[in-house]
A and B are shown apart, each in its own frame.
Chain A
Amino acid sequence: MQDLDEVQVLVTAVGEYTLSTLGAENLAGLRVTLDPSEMSCHVTVALSDNSDDNQKKAITSLLEVEDIYFDELVMGFSLVNSLEDEESPRASIPQYSHA
């Protein structure tokens, strides 16, 4: 496990790369959290357009992000209509968000 500063740097990097890959213009919100004990990362994506085709494009992009960070992290994701649809993570958990 890395120290918390390093983990925060990593989760910010994952979040910014995910944001650029998905495109801010396509998002209603994005949140990335990272559990440093397991180096597992969860990406919550709120798309502006939740059509089938748009969801598939987003998941394709998320799989590319997953591959970039493959050696460092295990990644999971959820698709939501709004970030408020999920419980907010505890403030102590390293996280990145874009709304």
Chain B
Amino acid sequence: MSSSPSIRTAIKCVERADAFQISAGNLYTADDEWFAVCYFYAAYHLVRAAFIADPVFDSIQELAAKDGRLVMEDRFIERHQGRVDGRTRTLGVNDVVRLLYPDIAVEYRRLHAASVAVRYSEGLRTISPDTVLDDFNAVRAAYDGGLRA
């Protein structure tokens, strides 16, 4: 992740998600595989907006009851993957999605894999464009439906 300050309000996260979703649609229409990157980052900002607004983070007890690996600071988590540092295992956005919103965890992780394939590997050879679109729509529908732990 960049060391530059990132947005920390749900409203701003959704604004960025909406902008990325429009760009993704334009790139999809143009048959440019970078649409997958835009859809993934739109999904990333939507789940970060959900974390920030989720009342589960208002209570240590409620959070611990959900999963003992979660900590209050995860509300503002930014990096995609967690880290192992000695005996400490910190979470990433991928982990928090899986622990709090399991119904979209598979779709979110496949979107991440599609984005990584475009940016660092051979592109969208295995994950189809329609799959990327379906996965994003699943995350978007969950968020618009009031995504909560």
Contact = CB atoms under 8 A, between A and B. Distances in A.
Interface of A: 38-40, 50, 52, 55-56, 59-60, 62-63, 66-67, 70-74, 76-81, 85-86
B125 A81 contact: yes
Given A55-B110, A77-B113, A78-B113, A70 B89 contact: yes
Give the contact-size bracket for chain B: 20 to 34
Contacts of A55: 110, 127, 131
Contacts of B84: 38-40, 71-74
Interface of B: 69, 81-84, 89, 92, 98, 105-106, 109-110, 113, 116-117, 121-122, 125-128, 131, 134
A70 B98 CA distance: 12
Contacts of A85: 121-122, 125-126
Nearest to B112: A76
A52 B131 contact: yes
A34 to B, nearest CB: 11
Contacts of B116: 76, 78
Contact of B125 (A38, A56, A73, A80): A80
Given A80-B125, A86-B121, A63 B83 contact: no
A59 B110 contact: yes
Contacts of B110: 55-56, 59, 79
